[in-house]
């Protein structure tokens, strides 16, 4: 390349980098935290006991997952996780595989609420968070997994295990700009029987259901119990708890859980149906008719079965 052309190429490269940096910083606005976050959370948190695994090219997913699994005292290595998480065709790891692999190691992966307040709350409660970032522009994504291990509220910085940096600090503003491009996706893991604070009810039910599908109702039962203790207004949590009890032939407990579900959400037709069928099996005809009538009046796929059960009465 001639000197003049080389100079022009360098100038173009500098200009391109400058444009990209402007776009990256220009789209980033300071995330607004709730006042309660400042009032209730510690000003500084750093989970120093989270191990560090350097993330080589395209293997940030297995490395991030190994860090949080090791923190949960799961004996595994990055090399063990690569064939389970890494997808060569995509040169990386996809979210469903990250969650599924945690379940294979008998841990439940809970996606968190997509807010910085939620992320900081999990850290304040001693739980590291796997976060997904897009380090480039939306049109040319550069997906990356890191592990959030702490924060400094006065300085408005987040502390990450990221790439080959064991303690990477990033301002809330710059982190949120990259996190927002993944719809602020992140997750925490917990042992069966533990439900972290702040998980959305639907996400909690889905996470435990996925674990139950792999390991069975007996293994999931402690988590369903923990969920309804953590979220006593979660009607679907009580409904799922009733199913787990029923699978374990604990019909009385299943019945009580269904009663709770219908009290919390009188429009939950499937709970009325199951409650009616339980009463019917116990020979409590009057109670069965009342519950089945409720199910038959509520729109949904349970209506036909409720009507059929009523005809048998």
Residue pLDDT, tens place only, 62-113: 999 999 999 999 999 999 999 888 766 555 568 899 999 999 999 999 999 9
Task: Please give the Cα distance from 107 to 81 (Å, whole number).
Answer: 14
Is pLDDT larger for residue 17 or for residue 41? 41
Measured from the Cβ of residue 104, the count of other Cβ atoms closer than 10 Å reads 12
User: Does the pLDDT of residue 13 top 60, yes or no?
Assistant: no
Task: Please give the Cα distance from 97 to 15 (Å, whole number).
Answer: 38
User: Does the pLDDT of residue 33 top 70, yes or no?
Assistant: yes
Query: Exposed (0-12), middle (13-18) or buried (19+): which is 233, by Cβ within 10 Å?
Result: exposed
Q: What percent of the chain has pLDDT over 90?
A: 80
Query: Exposed (0-12), middle (13-18) or buried (19+): which is 19, by Cβ within 10 Å?
Result: exposed
Residues 6+ apart with CB under 8 A from 11: none
DSSP-assigned beta bridge partners for residue 109: 189
What's the alpha-carbon Rg for the chain, to the nearest Å? 25
CB-CB contact of 160 with 60 (8 Å): no
pLDDT per position as a tens digit, 111-126:
999 999 999 999 999 9
Task: Please give the Cα distance from 241 to 256 (Å, whole number).
Answer: 10
- pTM beyond cutoff 0.85: yes
Task: Please give the Cα distance from 263 to 288 (Å, whole number).
Answer: 16
User: Does the pLDDT of residue 24 top 70, yes or no?
Assistant: no
Task: Please give the Cα distance from 207 to 87 (Å, whole number).
Answer: 22
């Amino acid at each position: 390349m001639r000197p003049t052309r080389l100079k022009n190429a360098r100038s173009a490269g500098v200009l391109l980098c400058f444009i990209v940096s402007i776009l990256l910083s220009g789209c980033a606005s300071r995330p607004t935290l709730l006042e309660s976050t400042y009032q209730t959370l510690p000003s500084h948190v750093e989970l120093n006991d989270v191990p560090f695994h350097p993330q080589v090219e395209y293997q940030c997913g297995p490395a991030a997952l190994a860090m949080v699994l090791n923190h949960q005292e799961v004996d595994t290595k990055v090399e063990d996780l690569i064939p389970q998480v890494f997808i060569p065709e995509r040169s990386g790891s996809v979210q469903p595989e990250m969650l599924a692999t945690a379940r294979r190691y008998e841990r439940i992966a809970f996606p968190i609420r997509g807010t910085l307040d939620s992320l900081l709350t999990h850290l304040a409660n001693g739980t590291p968070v796997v976060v997904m970032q897009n380090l480039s522009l939306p049109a040319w994504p550069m997906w990356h997994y890191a592990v959030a291990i702490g924060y400094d509220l006065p300085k408005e910085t987040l502390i990450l295990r990221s790439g080959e940096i064991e303690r990477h600090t990033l301002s809330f503003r710059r982190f949120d700009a990259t996190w927002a491009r993944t719809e602020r996706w992140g997750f925490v893991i917990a042992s069966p029987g533990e439900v972290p604070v702040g998980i959305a009810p639907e996400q909690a039910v889905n996470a435990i259901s996925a674990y139950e599908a792999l390991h069975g109702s007996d293994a999931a039962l402690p988590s369903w119990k923990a969920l309804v203790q953590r979220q006593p207004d979660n009607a679907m949590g009580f409904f799922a708890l009733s199913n787990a009890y029923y699978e374990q032939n604990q019909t009385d407990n299943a019945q009580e859980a269904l009663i709770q579900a219908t009290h919390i959400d009188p429009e939950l037709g499937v709970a009325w149906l199951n409650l009616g069928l339980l009463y019917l099996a116990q020979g409590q005809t009057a109670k069965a008719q009342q519950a089945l009538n409720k199910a038959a009046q509520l729109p949904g796929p349970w209506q036909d079965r409720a009507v059929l059960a009523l005809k048998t009465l």
